[in-house]
């Protein structure tokens, strides 16, 4: 799209006119960096041929051979690298970079919308370190960032680089007619609300295009999915077609080159791709794009669909959505994507667990002066943190300066993609030796490599034999078991302190610091084929505790009463099955004909009820539902209370399902970045029924604050999502499938939501 010309031309010009200027280009991936190098080389050829001058640009990354590094450092005008290399391969060795650093005038950060969330919070700290080092060599840097469209460019980029920015949004590229289509696969099963799959429909659409000779790219959400689509495509066209290909991460550079060339030269007509292609690789212009499943952010959709329509002809992009609430929401609210999104990119460079590690790095790079700033941290804040290092004998304070005295090089232990720095190694025993096949975060370790878990990696299936939490190693062995495992997690949430709270319609919203306590207490074995549970085992894993931020909504007492009065909870009568009368009598007898809550007995006036602890509807068989251990004797008053609490919880669970699925779109975050649950009888929410959203990154990076600010918007959109869903009484696309809290819950969820949003939004 020519955006790299926007920075290449002025920078090359400056370098040519003044020999004292160097530039650093940062790309999120090596592939993109190499791509850029090629572009500069082309410009260089033109310069050499026409003006007999040239500049020296080099890629400097993990693939750069050791013995050429010195030469590159000393001869290059432009270094093209990535954040990881800057973090562990350049900054810690800055004295070797003295010549380059002392000339450093421009830093280009391409695809900078990538640097959000945890990765972005790391990136922001790396930039703080880079600015410190540059200042040491007497230079001040001008940053040039390019980005896909995001909702808050000014705020976000200012925070990312810690300096004011000017936003340029002019687009001079040729625009041709492009049709953007959101395709919702038809219902295959009306009652269960099951739709035709993304896979089948994407393949069907791609076949139409392929047979018409229209060059097409199909984006998938995972590498495995891309492989499956290609396999089925090839099977249909007798297997031996050279014009169909797959593009994913992990390809050899030569393989990748070949595909890119094939696409440009129109020798490849259909390519199945993970988002590896999304990031600005040059493949010419395509006629059609199919996005098989919502890729997680609107920015991604825009970028993927932007792959079509760079040429002269009309083009099209189709987003095939699945049945998740988020995707169904999009299919009914196309404006959300078409008319630019409210998506904001968020980072929190001052997240303590991220900041502390980069402070260690910064301190090894150069001593800190007492009056120094670090990003927006004041000298006072900074000194507090540095004194913590002194207290732990990692630093000393002398002559108004802090010096690092720790033995280890801190950069090696930081992962830029996660906030938690504790890692477990995954080890298998093969050919009489232990082989490490990967690593995993500590909190994920308890979830996915607990003893007995089936762990999937690289298409292989492993059984976890044991997990050593002292050595931090999981011992696996290859397995071809016909089942997979699902961990059972118990989560408790504790209030640490409230940050902000306010009265809203029908509820109180609160932002606060909380403590999350996760424990894996067991796991289920589920058959790959058929999906039946064949085992339900107990397990006691260590508790995993972390502090983070949360946003919660507590329903007011008035609303609960109103809903009760409205009789919204009336249920249609249920046929409890042929053994019901017998079981009912057994339960009454066992409970000695007294209400098990208030103790009221049978005295002619009151008829006692027998109640299902877990609702009847959530069982597949009446025999299970009517088992004695699921029955309890209650008086009519207590029974009504019990039923109401189930239904209110059912309504809240429904709202939680919908909002939790909708929230990532407003936060521009990954699905896994947040979690939500219903809590009752807790300090959180003052004993009121409460829905809480919390961040899975220790310390939080601003998602809770954002949700707190967007309170009304999210409730309104949640209401619309559920209200416009075509199902009768709840489905996976709105309030979730029936289950734990009884089937349905749609009506209850809508009733509760309606009481929390302003009347003008109810239509």
User: Which residues contribute to the site for Zn ion (CB under 5 A)?
Assistant: 595, 597-598, 600, 611, 635, 638, 725, 727, 731, 733-734
Please state the closest distance from residue 89 (CB atom) to Zn ion, in A.
Answer: 51
Please state the closest distance from residue 594 (CB atom) to Zn ion, in A.
Answer: 9
Please state the closest distance from residue 604 (CB atom) to Zn ion, in A.
Answer: 16
Please state the closest distance from residue 600 (CB atom) to Zn ion, in A.
Answer: 5
Please state the closest distance from residue 730 (CB atom) to Zn ion, in A.
Answer: 6
Tokens in use for 710?
């967007």
Please answer whether residues 636 and 609 qualify as being in contact, where contact means their C-beta atoms are separated by less than 8 angstroms.
Answer: yes
Please state the closest distance from residue 662 (CB atom) to Zn ion, in A.
Answer: 13
Please state the closest distance from residue 676 (CB atom) to Zn ion, in A.
Answer: 18
Q: Which is nearer to Zn ion, 493 or 725 (CB)?
A: 725
Q: Which residues of 239-261 are buried (b: 16+ CB within 10 A; e: fewer)?
A: eeeeebbbbbeeeeeeebeebbe
Please answer whether residues 32 and 280 qualify as being in contact, where contact means their C-beta atoms are separated by less than 8 angstroms.
Answer: yes
Alpha-helix runs per DSSP H in 463-548? none
Please answer whether residues 552 and 708 qualify as being in contact, where contact means their C-beta atoms are separated by less than 8 angstroms.
Answer: no
Please state the closest distance from residue 606 (CB atom) to Zn ion, in A.
Answer: 9
Taking the C-alpha atoms of residue 515 and residue 698, their distance in angstroms, rounded to an integer, is: 9
Please answer whether residues 186 and 246 qualify as being in contact, where contact means their C-beta atoms are separated by less than 8 angstroms.
Answer: no
Q: Which is nearer to Zn ion, 45 or 613 (CB)?
A: 613
Q: Which is nearer to Zn ion, 69 or 584 (CB)?
A: 584
CB atoms within 10 A of CB 187: 15
Q: Where does residue 14 rank: exposed (0-12), middle (13-18), buried (19+ CB within 10 A)?
A: middle
Q: Which is nearer to Zn ion, 553 or 731 (CB)?
A: 731
User: How do strand 483-504 and strand 507-527 relate by DSSP bridges?
Assistant: antiparallel
From the DSSP assignment, how many helices (H) and strands (E) are in the chain? Answer: 23, 29
Please state the closest distance from residue 642 (CB atom) to Zn ion, in A.
Answer: 6
**Which 3 state secondary structure label does DSSP give 750?**
helix
Q: Where does residue 434 rank: exposed (0-12), middle (13-18), buried (19+ CB within 10 A)?
A: exposed
Q: Which is nearer to Zn ion, 486 or 614 (CB)?
A: 614
Taking the C-alpha atoms of residue 569 and residue 574, their distance in angstroms, rounded to an integer, is: 14
Please answer whether residues 60 and 69 qualify as being in contact, where contact means their C-beta atoms are separated by less than 8 angstroms.
Answer: yes
**Which 3 state secondary structure label does DSSP give 490?**
strand
Q: Which is nearer to Zn ion, 180 or 616 (CB)?
A: 616
Sign of CA dihedral 676, 682, 684, 686: positive
Please state the closest distance from residue 605 (CB atom) to Zn ion, in A.
Answer: 13
Q: Which is nearer to Zn ion, 373 or 600 (CB)?
A: 600
Q: Which is nearer to Zn ion, 150 or 727 (CB)?
A: 727
Ramachandran sector of residue 595 (left: φ over 0; alpha: ψ -120 to 50; beta: rest) = beta
Q: Which is nearer to Zn ion, 377 or 752 (CB)?
A: 752
Please state the closest distance from residue 326 (CB atom) to Zn ion, in A.
Answer: 13
DSSP assignment letter at 292: E
Q: Which is nearer to Zn ion, 698 or 745 (CB)?
A: 745
**Which 3 state secondary structure label does DSSP give 692?**
strand
Q: Which is nearer to Zn ion, 701 or 734 (CB)?
A: 734
Closest CA to 651 of 735, 749, 568: 749
């Amino acid at each position: 799209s020519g955006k790299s010309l926007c920075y290449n031309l002025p920078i090359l010009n400056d370098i040519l006119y003044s020999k004292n200027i160097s530039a650093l280009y940062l790309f999120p991936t090596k592939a993109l960096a190499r791509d850029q190098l090629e572009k500069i080389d082309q410009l260089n050829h033109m310069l050499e041929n026409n003006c007999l001058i040239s500049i020296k640009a080099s890629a400097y990354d993990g693939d750069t051979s050791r013995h050429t590094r010195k030469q590159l450092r000393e001869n290059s005008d432009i270094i093209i690298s990535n954040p990881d290399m800057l973090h562990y391969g350049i900054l810690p060795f800055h004295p070797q970079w003295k010549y380059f650093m002392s000339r450093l005038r421009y830093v280009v950060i391409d695809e900078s919308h990538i640097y959000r969330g945890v990765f972005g919070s790391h990136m922001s700290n790396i930039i703080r370190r880079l600015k410190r080092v540059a200042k040491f060599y007497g230079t001040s840097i001008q940053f040039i960032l390019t980005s896909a469209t995001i909702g808050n460019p000014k705020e976000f980029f200012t925070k990312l680089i810690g300096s004011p920015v000017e936003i340029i949004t002019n687009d001079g590229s040729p625009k041709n007619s492009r049709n953007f289509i959101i395709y919702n696969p038809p219902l295959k099963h009306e009652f269960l609300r099951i739709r035709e799959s993304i896979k089948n429909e994407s393949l069907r659409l791609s076949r139409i295009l392929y047979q018409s000779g229209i060059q097409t790219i199909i984006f998938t959400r995972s590498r495995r999915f891309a492989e499956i689509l290609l396999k089925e495509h090839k099977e249909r066209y007798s297997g031996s077609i050279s014009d169909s290909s797959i593009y994913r991460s992990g390809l050899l550079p030569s393989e990748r080159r070949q595909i890119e060339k094939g696409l440009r030269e129109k020798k490849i007509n259909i390519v199945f791709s993970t988002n590896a292609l999304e990031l600005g690789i040059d493949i010419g212009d395509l006629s059609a794009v199919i996005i098989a499943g919502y890729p997680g952010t609107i920015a991604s959709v825009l970028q993927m669909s932007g792959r079509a329509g760079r040429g002269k002809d009309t083009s099209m992009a189709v987003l095939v959505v699945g049945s998740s609430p988020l995707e169904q929401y999009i299919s009914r609210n196309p404006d959300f994507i078409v008319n630019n999104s409210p998506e904001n990119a968020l980072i929190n460079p001052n997240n303590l667990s991220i900041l502390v590690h980069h402070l260690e790095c910064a301190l090894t790079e150069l001593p800190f002066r007492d009056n120094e700033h670090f990003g927006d941290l004041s000298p006072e804040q900074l000194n507090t943190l540095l004194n913590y290092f002194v207290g732990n004998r990692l630093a000393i304070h002398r002559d108004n300066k802090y010096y690092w005295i720790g033995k280890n090089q801190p950069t090696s232990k930081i992962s830029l993609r996660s906030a938690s720095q504790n890692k477990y190694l995954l080890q298998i025993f093969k050919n009489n030796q232990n082989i490490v096949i990967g690593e995993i975060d500590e909190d994920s370790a308890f979830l996915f490599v607990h003893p007995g878990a089936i762990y999937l990696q690289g298409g292989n299936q492993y059984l976890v034999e044991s997990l050593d939490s002292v050595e931090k190693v999981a011992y696996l062995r290859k397995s071809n078991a016909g089942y997979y495992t699902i961990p059972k997690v118990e989560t408790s949430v504790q209030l640490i302190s409230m940050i902000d709270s306010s009265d809203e319609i029908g509820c109180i919203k609160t932002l606060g610091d909380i403590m999350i306590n996760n424990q894996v207490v067991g796991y289920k074995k589920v058959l790959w084929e058929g999906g039946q549970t064949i085992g339900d085992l107990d397990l006691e894993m260590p508790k995993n505790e972390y502090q983070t931020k949360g946003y919660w909504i507590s329903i007011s007492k008035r609303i609960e009463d109103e809903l009760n009065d409205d009789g919204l909870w009336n249920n249609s009568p249920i046929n409890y099955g042929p053994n019901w009368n017998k079981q009912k009598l057994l339960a009454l007898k066992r409970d000695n004909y007294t209400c098990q809550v208030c103790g009221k007995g049978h005295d002619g006036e009151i008829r006692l009820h027998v109640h299902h602890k877990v609702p009847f509807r959530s069982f597949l068989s009446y025999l299970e539902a009517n088992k004695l251990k699921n029955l309890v004797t209650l008086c009519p008053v207590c029974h009504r209370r019990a039923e109401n609490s189930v239904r209110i919880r059912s309504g809240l669970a429904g709202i939680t399902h919908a909002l939790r699925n909708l929230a990532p779109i407003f936060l521009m975050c990954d699905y896994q970045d947040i979690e939500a649950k219903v809590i009752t009888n807790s300090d959180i929410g003052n004993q009121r029924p409460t829905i809480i959203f919390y961040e899975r990154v220790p310390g939080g990076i601003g998602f809770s604050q954002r949700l707190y600010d967007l309170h009304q918007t999210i409730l309104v959109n949640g209401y619309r999502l559920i209200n416009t869903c075509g199902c009768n009484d709840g489905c996976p696309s709105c309030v979730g499938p029936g289950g734990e809290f009884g089937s349905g819950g749609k009506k209850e969820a809508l009733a509760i939501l309606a009481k929390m949003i302003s009347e003008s939004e109810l239509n």
